[in-house]
Amino acid sequence: MAMHNPPHPGEVIRELCLEPLGLTVTEAAKGLGISRKTLSAILNGRFGISPEMAIRLSKGFGGSAESWLIQQIQYDLWQALQKESEIKVKTFA
């Protein structure tokens, strides 16, 4: 069952990882081995979580890489479902 309006994974990273640890975006980006610009884009919902990023998040903050990717998929699917009526396809079955 789809989660109702799930948060973007960037919100989860900010609220459950950075804030409790008192990490700045710069410190977290350095620790994850990515640019500050990339982490900022994720935190602000402009970039999604890639499989490689999921591994980095898993190693840095815990949880499985799969759990990070599932959060992204839930968010993406919810966003797509909001525009479902605009998606026109031919039924083949």
Residues 23-65: pLDDT tens digits?
999 999 999 999 999 999 999 999 999 999 999 999 999 999 9
pLDDT value at 1 more than 70: no
Whole-prediction pTM:
0.90
- CA-based radius of gyration for the chain: 15
- Among 60, 69, 74, which Cα is nearest to 31's? 60
Mean pLDDT, the chain, rounded, equals 96
CATH homologous superfamily for the domain 9-78: lambda repressor-like DNA-binding domains (1.10.260.40)
| Exposure letters 45-75 (e unless 16+ CB within 10 A, then b) | eebbbeeebbebbbebbebebeebbbbbebb
Give the residue, 74 or 3, on which the prediction is more confident.
Answer: 74
